[in-house]
């Protein structure tokens, strides 16, 4: 079984120390904006459903194709 590589090991380890699961830590550490300073992202409520869907796809949220905008926001915040 292949173990996927982690793009940002420092971020992965920091997230694990904060109590995040291995899966969630890996998803965050492997995201395209991994390691970049936050605070500049547009709030979920101001994004289109398509933008939310794309974000959900990037982080591996299952069932996203059947979700409405509010459900996508909830899934992204609680994933």
In a domain, 58, yes or no: yes
Q: How many structural domains is the chain composed of?
A: 1
In a domain, 67, yes or no: yes
Could you give phi then psi for residue 8, rounded to 5 degrees? -125, 90
In a domain, 42, yes or no: no
In a domain, 25, yes or no: yes
As a whole number of angstroms, the distance between CA 76 and CA 79 comes to: 5
Helical residues (DSSP H) of 1-79, grouped into ranges: 9-17, 22-29, 49-58, 69-78
CA distances from 53 to 24, 29, 79 (A): 18, 19, 14
Question: Which range of residues forms the domain containing residue 64?
Answer: 9-32+48-78
The 10s digit of each residue's pLDDT in 38-77 is 666 778 899 999 999 998 998 889 999 999 999 999 998 8
Give the mean model confidence (pLDDT) for residues 1-18: 75
In a domain, 52, yes or no: yes
Q: Which of 2-6, 13-17, 47-51 has the highest mean pLDDT?
A: 47-51
In a domain, 54, yes or no: yes
Residue 26: how many other CB atoms lie within 10 Å: 21
Tell whether pTM > 0.85. no
In a domain, 37, yes or no: no
């Amino acid at each position: 079984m292949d173990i996927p590589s982690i793009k940002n090991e420092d971020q992965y380890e920091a997230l694990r120390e904060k109590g995040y699961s291995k899966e969630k830590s890996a998803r965050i550490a492997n995201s395209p904006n991994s390691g970049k300073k936050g605070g500049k992202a547009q709030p979920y409520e101001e994004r289109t459903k398509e933008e939310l869907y794309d974000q959900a796809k990037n982080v591996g949220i299952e069932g996203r194709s059947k979700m409405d905008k509010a459900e996508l926001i909830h899934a992204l915040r609680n994933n």
